[in-house]
Amino acid sequence: MSTQQAETITVYSDYVCPFCYLGRESLSRYQADRDGDLEIDWQPFDLRSGKRNADGSIDHSVDDGKDDEYFEQAKESVRRLQEKYNVEMAMDLATGVDSLNAQVASYYVKAHYDYETWLAFDEAIFAALWTEGRDIGREEVLVDLANDVGIDADEIAAALDDETVRDELTDEFVAAQQAGVTGVPTFAYDGYAARGAVPPEHLQRLVEGEA
């Protein structure tokens, strides 16, 4: 159980980022080995910004500088990290999935529930996409995940329709950019940051200043 004395590491991430999922595996290994609790202060980041159509679909024709070579290299990196961390994944990339609804739901839960409940929901979203291959952009999937971890399903459905929550989330996306975050995952602690699915020892150096 977490305590009020737990330290906190800020993690900027987007659920559709495979390196965010793998980075959390690295973080969980560091958390398991360290003395004292280290809680996650999740900060949302929107990888689909600029590619999202009005109906929520993804416009793959938008030029974001990521060509076939980029995606092949990304897949290779994902596979290498899967092997390193012994993690099974249903897919290497999730280019056709939009996480906006998932981030809305997670943002709402973080604001209205305790840390342990948010963490269970957060981990369930990651697992649903990356180990089960479910579309976390679908309301019924998110409602099901919420129900599984003891969150009122009607609250999640209402949050997804709440424009105020969406506006607040958009402000968080802007705040991440203003903080200088250009990619995810980004781990931040005490004015320092590490980007990417860095190994546990790197996170240890970030937080403790030693390996």
Which range is least confidently modeled, 7-11, 52-56, 200-204? 52-56
pLDDT for residue 49: 86
pLDDT bucket at 203, cuts 50 / 70 / 90: very high
Question: Is-contact 89 18, C-beta < 8 A?
Answer: yes
Nearest by Cα to 49 from 172, 157, 143, 141:
172
DSSP states along 59-120: -TTS--S--HHHHHHHHHHHHHHHHHHT---S-S--TT---HHHHHHHHHHHHHS-HHHHHH
Per-residue model confidence as pLDDT tens digits over 113-126:
999 999 999 999 99
AA identity, residue 196: G
DSSP states along 180-192: T--SS-EEEETTE
Specify the pTM: 0.93
- What count of other Cβ atoms lies within 10 Å of the Cβ of residue 73? 11
> How many angstroms separate the Cα of 69 from the Cα of each of 58, 59, 62?
20, 19, 16
Domains and CATH numbers, the chain: 7-50+66-208 (3.40.30.10)
- Percentage of residues of the chain with pLDDT beyond 90: 84
Give the number of residues written for the chain.
211
Mean pLDDT of 141-163: 97
Per-residue model confidence as pLDDT tens digits over 70-90:
899 999 999 999 999 999 999
pLDDT for residue 5: 62
Instruction: Give every CB contact of residue 84 below 8 A, 6+ residues apart in sequence.
Output: 199
Say how far residue 135 (Cα) sits from the centre of its chain. Answer: 15
Mean pLDDT of 86-97: 94
pLDDT bucket at 15, cuts 50 / 70 / 90: very high
